[in-house]
Amino acid sequence: MFLLLVGGGMLLLTGGEVLVRAATQIAAVLRIPPLVVGLTLVAACTGAPELAVSLMGCLKSGGSPELAVGNVVGSNICNIMLILGAAALVRPMSVSSKLIRREIPLMILVSALLWTIVAMTFVSGSERGYYFPRAAGLAFVVLFILYTIWAIWEVRKNENRIMAAGLQERATAYPPKNRFLALFGALALFTLGLIMLLAGSNWFIEGAVLFAQRLGVSQLVIGLTVLAVGTSLPELVVSVVASARGRADVAIGNVVGSNIFNILIVLGISGLSVPGGIAVSEHAFRIDIPIMILVAAFGSYLCVTGRRLTRTEGLALLLGYGFYVWLLVKV
């Protein structure tokens, strides 16, 4: 059990890091603007561990689809309280007005939308309890694609000069004769990272199930704690390093973007993979998802007030997360 958890966690972390590096190199070779890279490739790569673990839980024979809900909800709570708290503790962070106007409200909106959809399924099909339907999974994926297209369009419209400079730098770094070899190497690295990610998710989820059986706690609790922290390691590394280097927008944007990705893509694709949709426990519906919404709203409030996250607020978020985990294990 210990080897599965530790080995799987290390593969997840390493695979996620390799994927981020490979995606960045692919973008550079293909001369994709850096802001577009952040909105698409980097966001997808740092969210890939959550997707791999949740999807594996749904697809494995005799798997545990409930882990998908617990992983997404737990990861989003972890992102706000643990990762954002740790990043703010390293260095106080200013919040851009663009995040306040667009991404932060969207994060709260999709979190509330998840709860609303699950509530509606209980009303319309109470004989099978709460669940996240397949149709909602498809709608979430389409919504994320539309959001990405709109975000890229906004970037292209408002920051053409910055993009042009970025493209020129990439053209200088990769002359035409070297582009094919560089792209081939980046794709090979990307494939290696993907293999490590899938293998790590398989080991990690097996270890998590064994861990749940040993402790006698539910799979939902394991998804909300062990899986959530383990699959959020790439986001933790990116945000803490970005904060230490004074890149507050990168640190906060990574957390907010990851939360949006987790709900719309991770839960959306996981929902599509399970015939009839993903079952949602009453505990998750009545307690864990509302806590996720409240945490998102509280974290957003801290970001909006003064447009700055202080070390004191970061410490408060960390202590709050510790208390939340203690309650989960205690109860």
- 230-238 average pLDDT score: 74
* Cβ neighbours for 247, distance < 8 A, ≥ 6 positions apart: none
* Residue with more model confidence, 264 or 154: 264
Say what the pLDDT of residue 297 is.
92
| CA distances in angstroms from 56 to 141, 204, 232, 259, 274, listed in the order given | 18, 10, 16, 20, 11
Tens of pLDDT, residues 104-136: 888 999 999 999 999 988 766 556 678 898 899
SS3 (DSSP) at 309: strand
Q: Which two three-digit tokens encode residue 264?
A: 């719309």
Query: Under DSSP, is residue 279 helix (H, G, I), strand (E, B) or coil?
Result: strand
Residue 119 buriedness (CB in 10 A; 0-12 / 13-18 / 19+): middle
233/13 Cα distance (integer angstroms):
6
What is the percent of the chain with per-residue pLDDT over 90, rounded to a whole number?
17
Contacts of 282 (CB under 8 A, 6+ apart): 129, 130
Give the number of other Cβ atoms within 10 Å of residue 180's Cβ.
11
Confidence class for position 12, pLDDT limits 50, 70, 90 = confident
Rounded CA Rg of the chain: 20
Lowest mean pLDDT among 36-45, 233-242, 314-323: 36-45
> What does the alpha-carbon distance between residue 320 and residue 91 come to, in Å, rounded to a whole number?
19
- Note whether 159 and 35 are within 8 A (CB): yes
The gap from C-alpha 151 to its chain's centroid, in whole angstroms, comes to 18
Q: What are phi and psi of 94, to 5 degrees?
A: -85, 145
What confidence category does residue 299 fall into, taking pLDDT thresholds of 50, 70 and 90?
confident
* Mean pLDDT, residues 295-299: 90
- Reported as a single tens digit per residue, the pLDDT across 43-58 is 677 777 778 777 877 7
**Per-residue pLDDT, 268:** 92
pLDDT, averaged across the chain: 78
Q: What average pLDDT score do residues 221-249 get?
A: 74
Confidence band, pLDDT 50/70/90 cuts, at residue 80: very high
How confident is the model over 175-220, as pLDDT tens digits?
555 777 888 888 888 888 878 877 887 787 778 777 777 777 776 6
